[in-house]
Amino acid sequence: MTPRNSLSAAVFAGTLSLALGIPAAAYAADGFVEGSKVTLNARNFYINRNFVDPAYNGGQNKAEEWTQSFILNAQSGYTPGPIGFGVDVLAGLAVKLDGGSGTYGTGLLPTHGTGADRHPADDFGRIAVAAKAKMSETELRVGEWQVVVPVLRADDGRSLPQTFQGGMVTSKEITNLALYGGQMRQNSTRDDASMEDMFFGGASSDRFNFAGGEYSFTDKTKVGLWHARLEDIYQQSYVQLLHVQPLGEDFAFTANLGYFTGKDEGSALAGDLDNKTYSGLFGLQAGANTFYVGLQKVSGDQWMRVNGTSGGSLANDSFNSAYDAADERSWQIRHDYNFAGVGIPGLVLMNRLSAATTSPQQAVTKARNGVANPSWPTPYKAAP
């Protein structure tokens, strides 16, 4: 679980995307070059976290780092023929602008050294390459890339996005139905350049298998059903309902409901596990303003996810907590303002207040955070 006995004093992320290619949709006939798209994302990220509990985090009073990163995403089109072939490259470099031995640990940079010598790296980066093949509306992808599905959501909440190595099939042969299946073997977390096995609960595995489907009844209502297994550690199922209900001009009600159930799997290397997690995020859009209420409940053991992945499938996931501890209950109220309404498209200001408590059987903990987040959209931002 993301540590949460802290107050985010300031969280700021600025991103600027420069499109260097032409989208494939602009061409009647897609091709390897004609269908290619290249974007360069320049991301400036600063975090200052004040740990209000002196006993928390080994006595460290705060975590503060500042980075400038560059993310190149080059996606080819497909070669002509019944089966088209292509390749995607994702390359990232993050450079430290500020941060030292007393302020490490924001997740922006790798941490090196031990004891009093622990400090953030000056820079880090990596290159991910994935080959792809497409026949009709079915695509096979093999290699390393940023996987974003509800049961395995790569974290893109810091300097560089998390990536996974493996294979995945996506099929959209049936109208309104998308099917997914794959196996991931290793991952590189958001603050690490190396590729390692995946782990949960102190146990590691080199196989994460998943399958799922999403069906759109209309352009306003979609349901999803997923199942995943981190081999010999845990298995998890997920049901999701997404709905948008227009209420008139410039008004709409939105709902994102989810239910996870999980337990130990195979050799149960992380011990006996039993989890049920309920999640609901409700929104009211009124012109440039959107107001949210999030409700979340974890029953039994902590919510199950591969190390380093985002909690973005949960209603109350935030910069400094996913509120996913055993028997944790949480809520949030949130306001987003889209400056497109005043002629500044792409700029969104978000403010949020959230709180959480654990069960009476455990020591009661609470967390509240307010986050101001001016951000420019990035092609790597995980879907809500």
Q: Provide, rounded to the nearest whole percent, the portion of the chain with pLDDT above 90.
A: 75
* CA–CA dist 183, 210 (Å, integer): 6
Residue 321: predicted pLDDT: 86
Q: Which of 66, 82, 86, 64 is nearest to 74 (CA)?
A: 86
Distance of CA 66 to the CA centre of its chain: 20
pLDDT grade for 242, boundaries at 50, 70 and 90: very high
Yes or no: say if 262 and 324 are a contact pair by the CB < 8 Å rule.
no
- What is the structure's pLDDT at 62? 85
In a domain, 374, yes or no: yes
The answer to whether residues 200 and 105 belong to one domain is: no
Give a yes or no: residue 2 inside a domain.
Answer: no
Domain co-membership, 215 together with 71 = no
Positive or negative, the CA dihedral 79, 85, 87, 88 is positive
Cα-Cα-Cα-Cα dihedral sign, residues 143, 145, 149, 152 = positive
Q: Report d(CA 179, CA 211) in Å as an integer.
A: 8
Residues 350, 20, 380, 231, Cα dihedral to 10°: 180
Tokens matching residue 31: 């091709």
Q: Please, which residues bridge with residue 38 across strands?
A: 74
Helix (H) or strand (E) holding 224: strand 221-230
- DSSP label at residue 71: E
Q: Which two tokens stand for residue 167?
A: 């294979």
Residue 243's alpha-carbon distances to 99, 152, 240, 255, 284, in angstroms, are 43, 22, 10, 5, 12
Q: Which residues of 229-238 are buried (b: 16+ CB within 10 A; e: fewer)?
A: bbbbbbbbeb
**Contact present, 175 and 321 (Cβ < 8 Å):** no
Can you give 9-42 as a three-state secondary structure string? Answer: EEEEEEEEEEECCCCHHHCCCCCCCCCCEEEEEE
What is the domain range of residue 107? Answer: 22-133
Tokens encoding 7: 């107050």
The residue that leads in pLDDT, 92 or 60, is 92
Domain count, the chain: 2
Are both 252 and 370 inside the same structural domain?
Answer: yes
Which of 113, 133, 153 finishes a domain?
A: 133
- Condensed to tens digits (0 to 9), the pLDDT of residues 181-199 reads 999 999 999 999 999 999 9
Give residue 359's pLDDT band: very low, low, confident or very high (50, 70, 90).
low
Residues 61 and 142 reside in one and the same domain = no
Which of 117, 133, 149 is the last residue before a domain boundary?
Answer: 133
- Does a structural domain hold residue 7? no
8-22, 54-68, 155-169, 319-333: which range is least confident on average? Answer: 8-22
Q: Are residues 154 and 299 in the same domain?
A: yes
Rounded CA separation 68/190 (Å): 14
Q: Tokens 């199942």 correspond to what residue?
A: 227
Exposed e or buried b per residue across 261-296, where buried means at least 16 C-beta atoms within 10 angstroms of its C-beta: bbbbbeeebbeebebebbbbbebebeeeebebebbb
Query: Are 42 and 172 part of one and the same domain?
Result: no
Give dist(CA 108, CA 110) in Å, integer.
7
Alpha helix ranges (H) inside 122-171: none
126 and 148 in a single domain? The answer is: no
How high does pLDDT run on average in the chain?
A: 87
Q: Are 78 and 134 in contact (CB under 8 A)?
A: yes
Query: Do the domain assignments include residue 271?
Result: yes
- 224 lies in the same domain as 333: yes
61 is a domain residue: yes
Give the global pTM. 0.85
Taking 3-state DSSP, the helix, strand and coil percentages for the chain, each rounded to the nearest 5, stand at 5, 55, 40
**Domain at 305, CATH number:** 2.40.160.10
Both 240 and 318 in one domain: the answer is yes
Residue 150 lies in a domain: yes
Residues 73 and 184 in one domain: no
Q: Is residue 284 part of a domain?
A: yes
Q: Are 34 and 79 in the same domain?
A: yes
End position of a domain, from candidates 85, 106, 133: 133
33 with 170, same domain: the answer is: no
Helix (H) or strand (E) holding 341: none
Q: Given this model, what pLDDT does residue 374 score? A: 43
If you ran DSSP here, which 8-state letter would residue 262 be given? E
**Exposure letters 36-52 (e unless 16+ CB within 10 A, then b):** bbebebebebbbbbebe
Read off the pLDDT of residues 22-44 as tens digits, 9 standing for 90 and up. Answer: 343 333 347 999 999 999 999 99
Q: What local confidence, expressed as pLDDT, does residue 360 receive?
A: 54
Residue 37 within a domain: yes
